């Protein structure tokens, strides 16, 4: 068996390339076909970086709980090779002075560091705090929709930049504690990192880091009720002490995931319902279906294709495949969430679908210790955005037909809609 970490590895033409344009354009279909090849299939992140692909529901859940698959090579005894995660960071074309913030967050660490970092940020995402945010989310959603109406023409609303993003950006910035004048810096950087253009990131990244450092320093001097204050205080907390790099990294991760992933979830959910009018009618007739409908949309069209790459900390026999110490493993959410071994008619959108075990019915937010810390808030915003829109516009429909739903392909995320025009 080939050791996947060997520097001489070269990609055979017949094996799956994760940056294949066809796979990027149709991840549900592409990874679905890979899923049926076997429980563990070899793929290639680049022409020289192999990776094992785990695509089935039960296998992904088990693998994400398996402590033999770690997030950082620092957790591997006697590891002396290159950090395979550097490839992913390099693909973003980030300036050198910014790269150090991308491998130290809770998403990229293992216990005990993960426990410490997650413990620090988790205090801003308690169930009580999320419940308290519900009223504010409802208020913001109503205000944004009212303002959107004021700018609309001929009864047509644009729901991506006009609705989903303003809601997601405002909610996460208020939670984190980013003042209104500083929010444009984060949105610009988010757009630049998705574009992966070095020149643009070279301009926006330093400004972003300077902004985060300034805000953390301000909260250290004058704490408030926000995540920045929690992270600033953690710099001196004996249990959850964070380094400067860890605090900055957490702000970046929470803001990016909090606004981009949530906005994409809202957009994808709206598009799914609008292109499945039978499901839209069901939801409009029975608003009690809304929580289950959001879970079904996360399963069917969630924004995350896969979790962060894992590394085998030792030789592992997993589902009949020998995975060597140091090998890279990618657990694929999009295929797990449509696994026919788990779901009846998995490619059908069914908002009445319920999990037999009482779980949320998907692994769109990951699983195990790296389960998305903002999952409750993201779900709350999606539910509120759908409910408010449908209450005000029960006859909601696409303005331009399904042929207008042309998606943009960006590596690492589900293909995204740049606009979603509806007639009310």
> In this predicted model, what pLDDT tens digit does every residue of 9-35 receive, in sequence order?
566 666 899 999 999 999 999 999 999
Query: Cα separation of 266 and 171, whole Å?
Result: 13
Question: Tokens in use for 51?
Answer: 């990776």
326-355 average pLDDT score: 96
Residue 84 has pLDDT above 50, yes or no: yes
pLDDT 10s digits, 94-104: 777 788 887 77
C-beta atoms surrounding 300 within 10 Å? 25
The number of angstroms, rounded, from the C-alpha of 360 to the middle of its chain's C-alpha atoms is 17
Mean pLDDT of 394-405: 92
pLDDT at residue 1 greater than cutoff 70: no
pLDDT greater than 70 at residue 61: yes
* pLDDT tens track for 175-197: 999 999 999 999 998 888 888 78
Smallest Cα–Cα separation from 357: which of 342, 378, 339?
Answer: 342
Q: Is the pLDDT of residue 8 over 50?
A: no
**pLDDT (tens digit per residue) in 288-308:** 999 999 999 999 999 999 999
Copy the structure tokens of residue 323: 């995975």
Per-residue model confidence (pLDDT) at position 85: 83
Is pLDDT of 6 > 80?
A: no
Cα–Cα distances in Å, from 295 out to 110, 280, 286, 364, 370? 28, 15, 16, 9, 19
Q: What is the pLDDT of residue 90?
A: 78
The model's pTM: 0.93
% of the chain beyond a pLDDT of 90:
70
**Spatial contact of 216 and 201, defined as CB atoms under 8 Å apart:** no
Give the contacts of 179 (CB within 8 A, at least 6 positions apart): 215
- Residue 116 pLDDT: 92
264-277 residue pLDDT tens = 999 999 999 999 99
* Res 20: pLDDT: 94
Burial category of 65 from C-beta neighbours within 10 Å (exposed 0-12, middle 13-18, buried 19 and up): exposed
Taking residue 370's Cβ as centre, other Cβ atoms within 10 Å add up to: 20
Give the pLDDT confidence score for residue 14 in this predicted structure.
66
Q: What is the mean pLDDT of the chain?
A: 91
Please say if the pLDDT value at position 7 is more than 60: no
Predicted pLDDT of residue 13: 61
Which one is predicted more confidently, 193 or 38?
Answer: 38
Conformational region of residue 139, where left means phi above 0, alpha means psi within -120 to 50, and beta covers everything else: alpha
User: In the chain, what percentage of residues exceed pLDDT 70?
Assistant: 97
Residue 3's pLDDT is what? Answer: 44
Summarize pLDDT for 105-159 with one digit per residue, the tens.
778 899 999 999 898 888 888 878 888 899 999 999 999 999 999 888 888 999 9
Contact assessment for residue 123 and residue 225, using Cβ atoms and an 8 Å cutoff: no
């Amino acid at each position: 068996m080939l050791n996947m970490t060997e520097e001489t590895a070269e990609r055979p033409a017949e094996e799956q390339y994760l940056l294949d344009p066809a796979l990027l354009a149709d991840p549900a279909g592409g990874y679905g076909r890979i899923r049926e090849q076997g429980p563990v299939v070899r793929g290639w992140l680049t022409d020289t970086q192999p990776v094992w692909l785990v695509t089935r529901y039960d296998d992904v859940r088990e693998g994400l709980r398996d402590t033999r698959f770690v997030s950082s090579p620092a957790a591997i005894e006697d590891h002396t090779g290159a950090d395979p995660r550097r490839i992913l960071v390099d693909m973003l074309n980030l300036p050198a002075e910014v790269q150090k913030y991308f491998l130290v967050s809770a998403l990229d660490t293992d216990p005990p560091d993960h426990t410490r970092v997650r413990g620090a940020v988790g205090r801003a995402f308690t169930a009580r705090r999320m419940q308290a945010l519900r009223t504010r989310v409802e208020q913001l959603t109503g205000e944004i929709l009212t303002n959107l109406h004021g700018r609309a023409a001929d009864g047509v609303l644009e729901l991506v930049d006009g609705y989903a993003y303003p809601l997601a950006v405002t909610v996460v910035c208020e939670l984190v504690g980013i003042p209104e004048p500083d929010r444009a810096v984060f949105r610009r950087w988010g757009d630049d990192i998705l574009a992966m253009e070095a020149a643009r990131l070279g301009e926006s990244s330093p400004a972003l880091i300077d902004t985060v450092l300034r805000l953390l320093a301000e909260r250290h001097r004058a704490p408030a009720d926000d995540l920045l204050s929690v992270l600033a205080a953690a710099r001196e907390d004996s249990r959850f002490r964070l380094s400067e790099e860890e605090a900055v990294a957490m702000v970046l991760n929470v803001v990016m995931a909090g606004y981009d992933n949530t906005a994409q979830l809202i957009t994808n959910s709206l598009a799914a319902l609008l292109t499945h009018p039978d499901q839209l009618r069901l939801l409009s007739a029975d608003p009690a279906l809304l929580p289950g409908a959001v879970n079904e949309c996360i399963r069917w069209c969630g924004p995350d294709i896969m979790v962060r790459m894992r590394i085998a900390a030792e030789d592992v026999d997993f589902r009949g495949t020998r995975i060597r110490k140091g090998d890279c493993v990618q657990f694929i959410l999009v295929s797990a969430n449509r696994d026919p071994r788990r779901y009846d008619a998995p490619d059908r959108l069914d908002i009445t679908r319920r999990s037999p075990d009482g779980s949320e019915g998907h692994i769109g937010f990951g699983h195990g210790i790296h389960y998305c810390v903002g999952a409750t808030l993201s779900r709350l915003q999606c539910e509120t955005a759908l409910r408010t829109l449908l209450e005000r516009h029960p006859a909601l429909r696409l303005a331009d037909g399904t042929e207008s739903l042309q998606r943009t392909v960006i590596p690492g995320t589900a293909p995204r809609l740049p606009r979603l025009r509806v007639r009310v």
